[in-house]
Structure 1
């Protein structure tokens, strides 16, 4: 049983995605129906939708669209990690609206697409601290040289649960292990941070192999342990590195020497606990 904690859906006729113009392979519709057809064959029983950096005016509409898709018969969607703007003064009001909707179980603000000092602002940090006690987690999407800024957020809000997306976005293709390993080990020392095993095939060369991924997987496993690791597909971004089936197969191979108990933690149990979600009846 697999819970996908990082699914992106793209419906270009409903929402605006300004960044797609710069990534032609992803400038297409990626629907729940297309994802679910493959996902069910691979043992995925539930999925959390991860915000897709839509135009700011479409943030609420994205959540509403995903929630509507979750209500359709046979949907794999069980919750949403919504976009947010903690650097803006209206964040507290937005948070109150979101808290009224149990479908939303977390937030993300992609930090590598904004100036580095955005997350260092007093208002940003104050608003992130507001998540304490709400049950809402915050996904950290940063490049290796920005992990220090993620560490600062985790330290300033120790009662907030953070998730480090894509193992900290290592530059596998460029051989960036040495620049990445230290910051990852340091952020792993924060007990309020969980690592997300997701996305890494897209950071490898076109002809990446399992051997390319092993050092990165081994390092996050050693630093975080399997009690603080969740799995995500990063679909459709994973299609840039072979696709959903390839990533599932690679993950199974990476976990081949791991106990059944720890595999269950990574693939489902940690996700149920961290986002307080449950499989559909």
Structure 2
């Protein structure tokens, strides 16, 4: 069975998502019920909800909404990675509130669409260090050229586990191997960083990719981090831009066909269970 560490639920009648107006292919409702059917077909047994960059004033509303979904009978949702704003003074109080919420397993601040200066601010970095000892993870969603900033954050807070989203967001369609490849190798030297094998189908040509298209990117990420520091994620519904959930699950199985049963178990469920105490 698979633990999906990267589900997005989009409910525009309940929450506000300003950025969706710029992505017409995703600018609609993506309800949990639609995901659940596909997920169960694919062998997914549990999932973590990943924040969807709601309007800043609705961040805690999103967490509360996901909590209602998690409490549905037989819900797959086992936890949430909540949105946050470490660049703001209010983060300290927000962190204290979320530490008391058993649903919240970690945080993410979307950075791949933000200026690099956001994560370079002293307050941002001080607040990341403030997470030490909380047991909460921090997801890094950054472009390849931004990965040195990911390294800096990991070095600043060695007691915090950082999760690198989407294999570092490589440009697979453009076959841009560098600087992505060298940055992944260097980032993987930080023992407190885990790579998420997710999202890559959205970065390939949606009309032509096959499993072997993804292989160099996935295999380099896994070989750099090792089987003990990789987790799997669907990135639903963003994965629908590249074929959908079932296609991504099938490609994943093809890509790890030569791995041992123990290695497959670590990637698909075991590491996630350990990291987030699921």
Normalising by structure 2, what TM-score? 0.99
Deviations 1:222-262 (A, max 9, x none): 10111100000000000000000000000000000000001
Which whole-Å CA distance do the structure 1 matches of 2:172 and 2:12 have between them? Answer: 30
Q: Corresponding residue for 1:159?
A: 159
3-state secondary structure, aligned to 1:195: strand
Aligned residues between the structures: 277
3-state secondary structure, aligned to 2:86: coil
Q: Corresponding residue for 2:275?
A: 274
Q: Corresponding residue for 2:35?
A: 35
3-state secondary structure, aligned to 1:80: strand
Which whole-Å CA distance do the structure 1 matches of 2:172 and 2:261 have between them? Answer: 28
Q: Corresponding residue for 1:251?
A: 252
3-state secondary structure, aligned to 1:48: strand
Which whole-Å CA distance do the structure 2 matches of 1:139 and 1:187 have between them? Answer: 14
Q: Corresponding residue for 2:130?
A: 130
Q: Structure 1: any 5+ residue segments left out of the alignment?
A: none
Which whole-Å CA distance do the structure 2 matches of 1:17 and 1:36 have between them? Answer: 22
3-state secondary structure, aligned to 1:138: strand
Which whole-Å CA distance do the structure 2 matches of 1:222 and 1:273 have between them? Answer: 20
Which whole-Å CA distance do the structure 1 matches of 2:20 and 2:252 have between them? Answer: 27
Q: Corresponding residue for 1:242?
A: 243
Runs of 4 or more consecutive aligned structure 1 residues displaced over 6 Å after TM superposition: none
Normalising by structure 1, what TM-score? 0.98
Q: Corresponding residue for 2:61?
A: 61
Which whole-Å CA distance do the structure 2 matches of 1:76 and 1:220 have between them? Answer: 27
Which whole-Å CA distance do the structure 2 matches of 1:255 and 1:160 have between them? Answer: 28
Q: Corresponding residue for 1:191?
A: 191
Q: Corresponding residue for 2:177?
A: 177
CA contact (8 A) 2:106 2:138 kept: yes
3-state secondary structure, aligned to 1:5: strand
Q: Once the 2 structures are TM-superposed, how far is the Cα of residue 209 of structure 1 from its aligned partner?
A: 1.5
Q: Structure 2: any 5+ residue segments left out of the alignment?
A: none
1:119 counterpart = 2:119: yes
Deviations 1:143-183 (A, max 9, x none): 00000000000001111100000000000001111321000
Residue pairs, 1:21-32, within 5 angstroms: 21-32=21-32
